[in-house]
Structure formats: C-alpha cells, structure tokens
Amino acid sequence: MSDAGLTLHYAPRSRSATALWLMEELGEPYTLESFSLATGHHKTPAFLAINPMGKVPAVVDHGRAVAELGAIAIHLADRYPAAGLAPAIDHPQRPDYLRWIFFSSAIFEPALAQKFFGWTPPASTVAWGSYDEMIRVATAGVQPGPWLLGDHFTAADVLVASGLGFGMRFGAIPAEGPLHAYVTRATDRPAYARAQAIEAREGARFPPA
C-alpha cells in the first residue's frame, strides 16, 4: 500500500462521487485512482486489502486505508482540520455532527432502499424506522439552515446533501420544499462543481459497459 499522500479509489457513476466532493471540499492534494466497475478491479486481492467489502469509495491516507463513507468523512475532516469540515471533539455541536454522519448511511440509505424496492417492514423492527420518518427528520434538520449545524458547513452536509440529491434524481425524494432548497445550496458550492467536472471527465474515460 502506497505511503504517498492521499489517494481516492473511485469509480464514476457510483457512491464514490460523494467522496470525490468531500476531497474537493478538503482542499488537500490527492491522487485519483479511477476505474470502471465493469473491470472487476474492486474485487481483486489488491483492492480487497484496502476495502474487504470490495466497494468504492476507499481512501488511502499516507499508507492507512479507510473505507465506508462515514468513516472516510470523519477521518479526513479530523485529520485535515484546516478545511473546517468538522467541529472539534469537545465542541458542543460534535454529537449532532456525528449523528448526521451516521444518519446518512444508517438511516437514509436503507430508508431510500425501502422506497425504491417497495419494502414494508414494521417500523419497530428495523433500525431506520421508516421512509416517512427519515423524511420528517431530514426536513426538520435542514429547515433552520443554511446547514445541518447552522452557519457551519461540514462533512455531514456533503454526505446528507449528496444522498438527498441522488434520491431526487430518481424521484424518491421530493424535489421541492426545504430538502430541495438545502440540496440546491449545497450543490452551488465551488467544490461540488469541481467534483462534477471530474465525474464527467472520468465518466467519459470509462463509459457504461
């Protein structure tokens, strides 16, 4: 595993676009290891040594591998504090920050899958509750604005806004009201535009199979 700086292992048209946006917000130099999922590179022994799940994104930070979007966000925001993407560990907003980081994967993603696939599990039996509860909590979280922690944009906003935007593109999240306004604010950021330009470039390099 390389010990040279920051490397993002990334594939276009995947969840790693969120990590790409995070890297652009971070403002640190990084290497992009981009590949097509169609090649199966993410299932090779070399990649499985970085992320045993064989999924993107994954980050290598000076020889240390970090996988899972929430872990990547927490690690990078704390490791590179100059970007201002996380409250300090003893800051009063730190608990809310961590809650939203984990909300993005532990609550939002399975609730969105429930909507996509038409699952109807009893809300009391699953950790994410229900799609409707997720929408209620997310809406209440973004309404005070402009960001989840008020005036302070953090890595949690990257994860939550990215997920909401994905859901809106596929009609699973209402493209109106407070959630839409929040995603619009987030995607107006210069770092998001830079990440989208890279996504378009890499998507052209590795077109769908």
| Residues contacting 86, CB < 8 A, separation 6+ | 74, 77, 78, 94, 97, 154, 155
For residue 197, tell me if it sits in a domain. no
- Residue 177, both tokens: 């009201």
Q: Are residues 124 and 67 in the same domain?
A: no
Q: Are residues 98 and 186 in the same domain?
A: yes
Q: Are residues 110 and 168 in the same domain?
A: yes
Domain holding 173, by residue range, is: 94-191
Q: Residue 130 and residue 136: Cα distance in Å, rounded?
A: 10
Phi-psi region of 50 (alpha: psi -120 to 50; beta: other; left: phi over 0): alpha
Interstrand relation of 58-61 and 6-10 (parallel, antiparallel or unpaired): antiparallel
Q: Residue 201 and residue 183: Cα distance in Å, rounded?
A: 23
Q: Are residues 29 and 76 in the same domain?
A: yes
Q: For 8, which DSSP code?
A: E
Band of residue 4 on the pLDDT scale cut at 50, 70, 90: low
Q: Residue 95 and residue 107: Cα distance in Å, rounded?
A: 16
Q: Are residues 20 and 104 in the same domain?
A: no
Strand order in the sheet with 30-34: 30-34, 6-10, 58-61, 64-67
Q: Are residues 146 and 112 in the same domain?
A: yes
The domain spanning residue 58 has which CATH number? Answer: 3.40.30.10
Q: Are residues 66 and 123 in the same domain?
A: no
Q: Are residues 111 and 187 in the same domain?
A: yes
User: What does the pLDDT look like over 10-21, one tens digit per residue?
Assistant: 999 999 999 999
Read off the pTM: 0.96
Q: Are residues 185 and 98 in the same domain?
A: yes
Q: How many domains does the chain have?
A: 2
Q: Residue 203 and residue 76: Cα distance in Å, rounded?
A: 25
User: What does the pLDDT look like over 102-129, one tens digit per residue?
Assistant: 999 999 999 999 999 999 999 999 999 9
Q: Residue 52 and residue 44: Cα distance in Å, rounded?
A: 10
CB 156 within 8 A of CB 148: yes
Q: Residue 182 and residue 173: Cα distance in Å, rounded?
A: 13
User: What does the pLDDT look like over 10-57, one tens digit per residue?
Assistant: 999 999 999 999 999 999 999 999 999 999 999 999 999 999 999 999
CB 60 within 8 A of CB 7: yes
pLDDT at 3 over 60: no
pLDDT at 98 over 50: yes
Other beta carbons within 10 angstroms of residue 85's beta carbon come to 24
Q: Are residues 113 and 145 in the same domain?
A: yes
